[in-house]
Amino acid sequence: FFLSLKLEKKTKGKLQKQICQVVLDHFEKQYTAELGDAWSSVRDVLTSPWCWQHALLLNRFSPSPGLESSLAEQGYHPAFPAALPYLPAAFRCYSRTAPGRFPAQKHQPGRLKGYYLLNAASLLPVLALEVRDGEDVLDLCAAPGGKSVAILQCAWPGHFHCNEYDDMRSRWLEQTIESFIPDPLINLIAVSKLDGRQIGDLQPECYDKVLVDAPCSNDRSWLFSADPQQAVLRLMQRKELSSLQFQLLRSAVKALRPGGSLVYSTCTLSRAENSDVINLILSSCSNVMPVDISGMARAVSQEFTFLSGTQQHELLVLPEKGRAWGPMYVAKLKKVSST
Protein backbone atom coordinates (compact mmCIF):
# COMPACT_ATOMS: atom_id res chain seq x y z
CA PHE A 1 0.00 0.00 0.00
CA PHE A 2 2.75 2.47 1.00
CA LEU A 3 4.65 1.66 -2.17
CA SER A 4 1.59 2.45 -4.30
CA LEU A 5 1.09 5.68 -2.32
CA LYS A 6 4.72 6.63 -3.00
CA LEU A 7 4.32 5.85 -6.69
CA GLU A 8 1.16 7.93 -6.84
CA LYS A 9 2.93 10.88 -5.20
CA LYS A 10 5.86 10.49 -7.58
CA THR A 11 3.48 10.38 -10.57
CA LYS A 12 1.59 13.39 -9.28
CA GLY A 13 4.80 15.37 -8.86
CA LYS A 14 6.02 14.43 -12.31
CA LEU A 15 2.72 15.35 -13.99
CA GLN A 16 2.27 18.49 -11.92
CA LYS A 17 5.56 19.86 -13.31
CA GLN A 18 4.28 19.41 -16.83
CA ILE A 19 1.26 21.69 -16.40
CA CYS A 20 1.76 24.76 -18.56
CA GLN A 21 1.27 27.75 -16.26
CA VAL A 22 0.59 30.25 -19.05
CA VAL A 23 -2.32 28.11 -20.30
CA LEU A 24 -3.65 27.50 -16.78
CA ASP A 25 -3.58 31.24 -16.04
CA HIS A 26 -5.47 31.95 -19.26
CA PHE A 27 -8.08 29.27 -18.51
CA GLU A 28 -8.38 30.48 -14.91
CA LYS A 29 -9.38 33.93 -16.06
CA GLN A 30 -11.69 32.86 -18.90
CA TYR A 31 -13.45 29.92 -17.28
CA THR A 32 -13.98 31.55 -13.90
CA ALA A 33 -15.95 34.19 -15.83
CA GLU A 34 -17.79 31.67 -18.04
CA LEU A 35 -18.42 28.73 -15.68
CA GLY A 36 -18.51 30.45 -12.28
CA ASP A 37 -18.33 28.07 -9.31
CA ALA A 38 -18.19 24.98 -11.57
CA TRP A 39 -14.68 25.90 -12.79
CA SER A 40 -12.78 25.02 -9.60
CA SER A 41 -13.89 21.35 -9.59
CA VAL A 42 -13.39 21.12 -13.38
CA ARG A 43 -9.89 22.57 -13.02
CA ASP A 44 -9.05 19.98 -10.33
CA VAL A 45 -9.85 17.15 -12.75
CA LEU A 46 -8.20 18.69 -15.84
CA THR A 47 -4.95 19.25 -13.94
CA SER A 48 -4.97 15.73 -12.40
CA PRO A 49 -4.37 13.14 -15.16
CA TRP A 50 -4.12 10.37 -12.55
CA CYS A 51 -7.90 10.68 -11.99
CA TRP A 52 -8.82 10.61 -15.71
CA GLN A 53 -10.95 7.70 -16.93
CA HIS A 54 -11.07 5.77 -20.19
CA ALA A 55 -13.95 3.90 -21.78
CA LEU A 56 -13.84 1.01 -24.24
CA LEU A 57 -15.93 1.04 -27.39
CA LEU A 58 -16.17 -2.57 -28.55
CA ASN A 59 -15.64 -3.30 -32.24
CA ARG A 60 -18.62 -5.20 -33.65
CA PHE A 61 -16.49 -6.29 -36.63
CA SER A 62 -13.98 -8.08 -34.37
CA PRO A 63 -15.68 -9.78 -31.41
CA SER A 64 -13.32 -10.67 -28.55
CA PRO A 65 -14.59 -13.78 -26.70
CA GLY A 66 -14.53 -13.28 -22.94
CA LEU A 67 -13.77 -9.54 -23.13
CA GLU A 68 -17.11 -8.41 -21.71
CA SER A 69 -16.97 -10.83 -18.75
CA SER A 70 -13.35 -9.78 -18.11
CA LEU A 71 -14.42 -6.10 -18.11
CA ALA A 72 -17.26 -6.87 -15.67
CA GLU A 73 -14.76 -8.54 -13.30
CA GLN A 74 -12.68 -5.34 -13.37
CA GLY A 75 -15.61 -3.12 -12.43
CA TYR A 76 -16.64 -1.98 -15.92
CA HIS A 77 -20.31 -1.55 -16.81
CA PRO A 78 -22.23 -0.52 -19.96
CA ALA A 79 -21.64 3.23 -20.28
CA PHE A 80 -24.93 4.18 -21.90
CA PRO A 81 -28.35 3.22 -20.55
CA ALA A 82 -30.92 1.40 -22.67
CA ALA A 83 -33.27 4.35 -22.02
CA LEU A 84 -31.37 6.48 -24.54
CA PRO A 85 -33.56 7.73 -27.43
CA TYR A 86 -31.00 6.24 -29.87
CA LEU A 87 -28.80 3.29 -28.90
CA PRO A 88 -28.31 0.64 -31.61
CA ALA A 89 -27.94 -2.95 -30.36
CA ALA A 90 -24.46 -3.32 -31.90
CA PHE A 91 -23.16 -0.22 -30.08
CA ARG A 92 -21.43 -1.43 -26.90
CA CYS A 93 -19.29 0.77 -24.70
CA TYR A 94 -17.95 0.04 -21.21
CA SER A 95 -16.68 2.37 -18.51
CA ARG A 96 -15.98 2.37 -14.78
CA THR A 97 -15.77 5.07 -12.11
CA ALA A 98 -12.21 4.12 -11.09
CA PRO A 99 -9.46 5.95 -12.98
CA GLY A 100 -6.88 4.09 -15.01
CA ARG A 101 -6.45 2.92 -18.55
CA PHE A 102 -7.18 -0.47 -20.08
CA PRO A 103 -4.22 -1.80 -22.14
CA ALA A 104 -4.12 -0.29 -25.62
CA GLN A 105 -3.94 -2.56 -28.67
CA LYS A 106 -1.13 -1.96 -31.14
CA HIS A 107 -1.88 -1.37 -34.81
CA GLN A 108 -1.13 -4.52 -36.81
CA PRO A 109 -1.70 -4.39 -40.57
CA GLY A 110 -4.33 -6.90 -41.63
CA ARG A 111 -5.58 -7.48 -38.09
CA LEU A 112 -8.64 -5.78 -36.57
CA LYS A 113 -8.61 -4.36 -33.08
CA GLY A 114 -11.27 -5.50 -30.61
CA TYR A 115 -11.90 -2.17 -28.92
CA TYR A 116 -11.20 1.56 -29.09
CA LEU A 117 -10.05 3.44 -25.96
CA LEU A 118 -11.64 6.87 -25.60
CA ASN A 119 -13.20 9.54 -23.44
CA ALA A 120 -16.82 8.34 -23.11
CA ALA A 121 -18.16 11.89 -23.68
CA SER A 122 -16.74 11.83 -27.22
CA LEU A 123 -19.46 9.32 -28.15
CA LEU A 124 -22.29 11.75 -27.35
CA PRO A 125 -21.98 13.60 -30.72
CA VAL A 126 -22.32 10.24 -32.53
CA LEU A 127 -25.39 9.24 -30.50
CA ALA A 128 -26.90 12.70 -31.08
CA LEU A 129 -26.41 12.29 -34.87
CA GLU A 130 -28.68 9.19 -34.92
CA VAL A 131 -27.31 7.63 -38.10
CA ARG A 132 -29.54 4.98 -39.74
CA ASP A 133 -28.62 2.24 -42.22
CA GLY A 134 -28.45 3.50 -45.80
CA GLU A 135 -28.06 7.21 -44.99
CA ASP A 136 -25.35 9.28 -46.69
CA VAL A 137 -23.02 10.56 -43.98
CA LEU A 138 -20.15 13.05 -43.91
CA ASP A 139 -17.61 13.23 -41.08
CA LEU A 140 -16.14 16.63 -41.96
CA CYS A 141 -13.10 16.71 -39.62
CA ALA A 142 -12.67 12.99 -39.04
CA ALA A 143 -9.16 12.38 -37.63
CA PRO A 144 -8.08 10.55 -35.58
CA GLY A 145 -11.13 8.47 -36.52
CA GLY A 146 -12.78 7.48 -33.23
CA LYS A 147 -16.12 9.04 -34.12
CA SER A 148 -16.04 7.55 -37.63
CA VAL A 149 -15.48 4.11 -36.07
CA ALA A 150 -18.30 4.80 -33.58
CA ILE A 151 -20.70 5.76 -36.40
CA LEU A 152 -19.98 2.41 -38.04
CA GLN A 153 -20.78 0.61 -34.76
CA CYS A 154 -24.24 2.22 -34.95
CA ALA A 155 -25.24 1.75 -38.57
CA TRP A 156 -23.96 1.09 -42.06
CA PRO A 157 -24.32 4.28 -44.13
CA GLY A 158 -25.19 4.11 -47.82
CA HIS A 159 -22.20 6.36 -48.47
CA PHE A 160 -19.69 7.33 -45.79
CA HIS A 161 -17.30 10.21 -46.49
CA CYS A 162 -14.52 10.75 -43.93
CA ASN A 163 -12.58 13.96 -44.51
CA GLU A 164 -9.42 15.26 -42.86
CA TYR A 165 -7.54 18.27 -44.24
CA ASP A 166 -4.31 17.86 -42.24
CA ASP A 167 -1.89 15.48 -43.98
CA MET A 168 -0.45 13.77 -40.90
CA ARG A 169 -3.85 13.45 -39.20
CA SER A 170 -5.30 12.05 -42.44
CA ARG A 171 -2.77 9.20 -42.33
CA TRP A 172 -3.78 8.60 -38.71
CA LEU A 173 -7.44 8.46 -39.78
CA GLU A 174 -6.68 5.90 -42.51
CA GLN A 175 -4.78 3.73 -40.02
CA THR A 176 -7.68 3.88 -37.53
CA ILE A 177 -10.19 2.81 -40.18
CA GLU A 178 -7.84 0.01 -41.27
CA SER A 179 -7.58 -1.14 -37.63
CA PHE A 180 -11.32 -1.37 -37.02
CA ILE A 181 -13.17 -1.93 -40.29
CA PRO A 182 -12.93 -5.12 -42.40
CA ASP A 183 -11.83 -4.98 -46.04
CA PRO A 184 -15.12 -5.29 -47.94
CA LEU A 185 -16.59 -2.45 -45.89
CA ILE A 186 -13.49 -0.23 -46.07
CA ASN A 187 -14.02 -0.06 -49.83
CA LEU A 188 -17.35 1.69 -49.23
CA ILE A 189 -15.71 4.47 -47.19
CA ALA A 190 -14.38 7.50 -49.05
CA VAL A 191 -11.45 9.17 -47.28
CA SER A 192 -10.47 12.64 -48.54
CA LYS A 193 -8.08 15.47 -47.63
CA LEU A 194 -10.26 18.39 -48.74
CA ASP A 195 -10.51 21.76 -47.04
CA GLY A 196 -13.67 21.24 -45.00
CA ARG A 197 -14.71 24.85 -45.63
CA GLN A 198 -15.12 24.04 -49.35
CA ILE A 199 -16.96 20.70 -49.19
CA GLY A 200 -20.37 22.39 -49.04
CA ASP A 201 -19.69 24.12 -52.37
CA LEU A 202 -18.07 21.02 -53.92
CA GLN A 203 -20.83 18.63 -52.78
CA PRO A 204 -24.00 20.65 -52.15
CA GLU A 205 -26.94 18.84 -50.58
CA CYS A 206 -25.31 15.40 -50.83
CA TYR A 207 -25.70 14.18 -47.24
CA ASP A 208 -28.45 13.15 -44.82
CA LYS A 209 -26.21 13.54 -41.75
CA VAL A 210 -23.06 15.60 -41.16
CA LEU A 211 -20.75 15.49 -38.14
CA VAL A 212 -18.58 18.57 -37.55
CA ASP A 213 -16.18 17.59 -34.77
CA ALA A 214 -14.37 20.87 -35.21
CA PRO A 215 -10.70 21.73 -34.63
CA CYS A 216 -10.72 23.51 -31.26
CA SER A 217 -8.58 24.57 -28.34
CA ASN A 218 -8.30 21.14 -26.71
CA ASP A 219 -8.36 22.08 -23.03
CA ARG A 220 -6.96 18.78 -21.73
CA SER A 221 -3.92 18.62 -23.99
CA TRP A 222 -3.22 22.37 -24.01
CA LEU A 223 -2.81 22.35 -20.22
CA PHE A 224 0.14 20.01 -20.67
CA SER A 225 1.88 21.85 -23.52
CA ALA A 226 5.54 21.00 -23.01
CA ASP A 227 6.72 24.09 -24.86
CA PRO A 228 5.64 27.41 -23.24
CA GLN A 229 6.36 29.35 -26.46
CA GLN A 230 4.11 27.01 -28.45
CA ALA A 231 1.45 27.47 -25.74
CA VAL A 232 1.61 31.28 -26.05
CA LEU A 233 1.29 30.99 -29.84
CA ARG A 234 -1.70 28.66 -29.46
CA LEU A 235 -3.42 31.08 -27.10
CA MET A 236 -2.88 33.93 -29.58
CA GLN A 237 -4.30 31.84 -32.44
CA ARG A 238 -7.22 30.74 -30.26
CA LYS A 239 -9.19 33.87 -31.21
CA GLU A 240 -9.17 32.76 -34.87
CA LEU A 241 -10.63 29.30 -34.18
CA SER A 242 -14.25 30.44 -33.90
CA SER A 243 -14.06 31.94 -37.39
CA LEU A 244 -12.76 28.62 -38.80
CA GLN A 245 -15.45 26.70 -36.89
CA PHE A 246 -18.18 28.96 -38.26
CA GLN A 247 -16.89 28.47 -41.84
CA LEU A 248 -16.81 24.68 -41.36
CA LEU A 249 -20.37 24.75 -40.01
CA ARG A 250 -21.60 26.88 -42.90
CA SER A 251 -19.99 24.41 -45.32
CA ALA A 252 -21.70 21.52 -43.48
CA VAL A 253 -25.09 23.23 -43.82
CA LYS A 254 -24.54 23.55 -47.59
CA ALA A 255 -23.54 19.87 -47.81
CA LEU A 256 -26.76 18.80 -46.03
CA ARG A 257 -29.94 17.85 -47.86
CA PRO A 258 -33.10 19.63 -46.73
CA GLY A 259 -34.49 17.60 -43.83
CA GLY A 260 -30.98 16.42 -42.93
CA SER A 261 -29.34 17.10 -39.58
CA LEU A 262 -25.88 17.96 -38.36
CA VAL A 263 -24.09 17.70 -35.05
CA TYR A 264 -21.37 20.16 -34.06
CA SER A 265 -18.93 19.20 -31.31
CA THR A 266 -15.71 20.37 -29.66
CA CYS A 267 -13.60 19.23 -26.71
CA THR A 268 -13.26 22.72 -25.22
CA LEU A 269 -15.19 24.59 -22.52
CA SER A 270 -14.79 27.88 -24.41
CA ARG A 271 -18.08 29.68 -25.04
CA ALA A 272 -16.58 31.50 -28.05
CA GLU A 273 -16.00 28.13 -29.77
CA ASN A 274 -19.27 26.55 -28.63
CA SER A 275 -22.54 28.42 -28.05
CA ASP A 276 -21.32 31.59 -29.80
CA VAL A 277 -20.55 29.68 -33.02
CA ILE A 278 -23.94 27.92 -32.96
CA ASN A 279 -25.79 31.17 -32.22
CA LEU A 280 -23.99 32.83 -35.14
CA ILE A 281 -24.95 30.05 -37.58
CA LEU A 282 -28.58 30.14 -36.37
CA SER A 283 -28.77 33.90 -36.84
CA SER A 284 -27.05 33.91 -40.26
CA CYS A 285 -28.68 30.81 -41.84
CA SER A 286 -32.46 31.10 -42.05
CA ASN A 287 -32.75 27.52 -43.34
CA VAL A 288 -31.38 25.95 -40.15
CA MET A 289 -33.21 25.26 -36.89
CA PRO A 290 -32.09 23.87 -33.52
CA VAL A 291 -32.97 20.27 -32.52
CA ASP A 292 -33.80 19.41 -28.90
CA ILE A 293 -31.24 16.94 -27.43
CA SER A 294 -32.24 17.41 -23.78
CA GLY A 295 -33.82 13.91 -23.77
CA MET A 296 -30.42 12.39 -24.52
CA ALA A 297 -28.79 14.49 -21.80
CA ARG A 298 -31.38 13.37 -19.23
CA ALA A 299 -30.90 9.71 -20.18
CA VAL A 300 -27.13 9.86 -19.51
CA SER A 301 -27.21 12.20 -16.50
CA GLN A 302 -26.05 9.36 -14.19
CA GLU A 303 -22.89 8.96 -16.25
CA PHE A 304 -22.05 12.58 -17.13
CA THR A 305 -22.11 15.99 -15.45
CA PHE A 306 -23.54 18.80 -17.60
CA LEU A 307 -23.26 22.56 -17.33
CA SER A 308 -26.64 23.89 -16.25
CA GLY A 309 -28.38 26.70 -18.13
CA THR A 310 -27.53 25.58 -21.67
CA GLN A 311 -30.23 25.62 -24.36
CA GLN A 312 -32.20 22.51 -25.36
CA HIS A 313 -30.24 21.98 -28.58
CA GLU A 314 -26.85 21.90 -26.82
CA LEU A 315 -25.00 20.34 -23.90
CA LEU A 316 -21.58 20.75 -22.30
CA VAL A 317 -20.01 17.86 -20.38
CA LEU A 318 -18.00 19.04 -17.36
CA PRO A 319 -15.33 16.69 -16.00
CA GLU A 320 -15.59 15.89 -12.30
CA LYS A 321 -13.95 13.27 -10.07
CA GLY A 322 -15.50 9.85 -10.59
CA ARG A 323 -17.06 11.15 -13.82
CA ALA A 324 -13.95 12.62 -15.40
CA TRP A 325 -15.45 12.70 -18.92
CA GLY A 326 -15.23 15.74 -21.16
CA PRO A 327 -14.95 18.58 -21.79
CA MET A 328 -17.33 17.90 -24.67
CA TYR A 329 -19.72 20.36 -26.27
CA VAL A 330 -22.50 18.99 -28.50
CA ALA A 331 -25.15 20.89 -30.48
CA LYS A 332 -27.64 19.59 -33.04
CA LEU A 333 -29.21 21.45 -35.96
CA LYS A 334 -31.57 20.57 -38.80
CA LYS A 335 -31.72 21.96 -42.33
CA VAL A 336 -35.29 22.83 -43.22
CA SER A 337 -34.93 24.09 -46.82
CA SER A 338 -32.39 24.65 -49.58
CA THR A 339 -31.64 28.34 -48.89
Arithmetic mean of pLDDT, 132-141: 97
Active site residue 20: no
How sure is the predictor about 9, in pLDDT bands with cuts at 50, 70 and 90? very low
Residue 329 covered by a domain: yes
pLDDT reported for residue 138: 98
What pTM value is reported for the model?
A: 0.93
Residue 82's pLDDT band (boundaries 50, 70, 90)? confident
Tell whether 182 is covered by a domain. Answer: yes
Banded model confidence at residue 3, pLDDT cuts 50, 70, 90? very low
Residue-wise pLDDT tens digits, 250-266 = 999 999 999 999 999 99
Confidence of residue 18 (pLDDT cuts 50, 70, 90): confident
Average pLDDT over residues 2-24: 57
**In 10 A of CB 240, how many CB atoms?**
9
- Residue at 202 is within a domain: yes
Q: Is the peptide bond before 144 cis (omega within 30 degrees of 0)?
A: yes
Span 150-165, mean pLDDT? 96
Give the pLDDT confidence score for residue 110 in this predicted structure. 85
- Which CATH number does the domain housing residue 184 bear? 3.40.50.150
Check whether 7 has a pLDDT greater than 70. no
105 assigned to some structural domain = no
Looking at the structure of the chain, the number of domains it has is 1
Give a yes or no: residue 77 inside a domain: no
**What integer is the mean pLDDT of 120-145?**
97
Q: For 279-292, write each residue's pLDDT tens digit.
A: 999 999 999 999 99
Question: Would you place residue 6 in the very low, low, confident or very high pLDDT band (cuts 50, 70, 90)?
Answer: very low
Q: Is residue 211 part of a domain?
A: yes
Give the pLDDT confidence of 292-322 residue by residue, as tens digits: 999 999 999 999 999 999 999 999 999 999 8
pLDDT of residue 28: 97
Q: What pLDDT score was predicted for residue 214?
A: 97
Q: Give mean pLDDT, residues 92-104.
A: 90
Which residues line the annotated binding site for S-adenosyl-L-methionine?
Answer: 141-147, 164, 195, 213
Read off the pLDDT of residues 187-213 as tens digits, 9 standing for 90 and up: 889 999 999 999 999 999 999 999 999
Q: Which of 20, 154, 162, 267 is catalytic?
A: 267
Nearest-CA neighbor of 249 among 260, 237, 236, 265?
Answer: 265
The pLDDT score that the predictor gives to residue 17 is 53
Q: In terms of residue numbers, what domain contains 208? A: 16-53+120-335
For residue 231, is it within any domain? yes
pLDDT digits (tens, 9 = 90+) for 104-125: 898 888 899 999 999 999 999 9
Output the pLDDT for position 162. 98
| 2 in any annotated domain | no
Whole-number average pLDDT of the chain: 92
